[in-house]
Amino acid sequence: MKYKMEWNYKLKGNQKILFSSDFLEGETAIQAGEELEKSGKAIDITFYDEIGTSWNLKEMKKLLTEIEDDPHDLLVYFDGGFQKETNKAGLGAVIFFRQGKKKYRVRANQLIGEMDTNNEAEYAALYFALSILEEMDVRNLPCEFRGDSAVVLKQLEGEWPCYEEVLNRWLDRIEAKLRQLGLEPKYSPINRNENKEADKLASQALEGKEIFGRTQLL
């Protein structure tokens, strides 16, 4: 999670000028807030997260202590592979996140049946990733989703219409799960070369290889 700061700078004659920062890592934002407060020139220091929730400096310090052990800074790659002969789909998800000062990666896949198209497999893969986030107890955070299916991501954003009843049901399920978890999604289309890890996991699921692993990154 990153945070933006806003504060008023005091001029002579009680005039004030409003300043704001870029989005910063939590610890950096607190350090900057403390130094501004010590200067005696900054008042009304307020911190905002990417969703728009606000805190003062004291509340911000308490917040970072409380969430230190919770997953945050979420980045999700997903991919679905469809096997037309069997109507089965392999779902792959790679989730990067921070917990405290450490970085982690979760890799997981799943094989499911009764799929009709590759687009449906892509929707199922995203829903599979959301199910993992739910198991991780991720709540009320921004989350970026990256996939190589522009159709799925543009439909989720509402930029492209979805006329297929089956896909609309997946859209409804995904949007309901996002609301339930309180996630603020950002959808980023990428090319297949950038999605190799999730693609490989989806292919391995179709081969009958079940994978789930969590790794701490250097």
Out of 3.30.910.10, 3.90.1150.10, 3.20.20.100, 3.30.420.10, the CATH code matching 71-217 is 3.30.420.10
Looking at residue 50, what is its pLDDT?
A: 82
6, 21, 48, 51, 68 from 32: Cα distances, Å: 11, 10, 14, 21, 19
| Domain range list for the chain | 2-67, 71-217
Tokens of 117: 């198209």
Residue 195 has a pLDDT of: 97
Give the model's pLDDT for residue 137. 92
The phi and psi torsions of 50 (rounded to 5 degrees) equal -75, -10
Averaged in consecutive runs of 10 residues, what is the pLDDT profile of the chain (218 residues)?
A: 89 86 90 91 90 89 80 94 96 93 94 95 98 94 94 93 94 96 94 97 97 92
- What is the full DSSP assignment across 23-76? -EEHHHHHHHHHHHHHHTSEEEEEEEETT--EE-HHHHHHHHHHHTTSEEEEEE
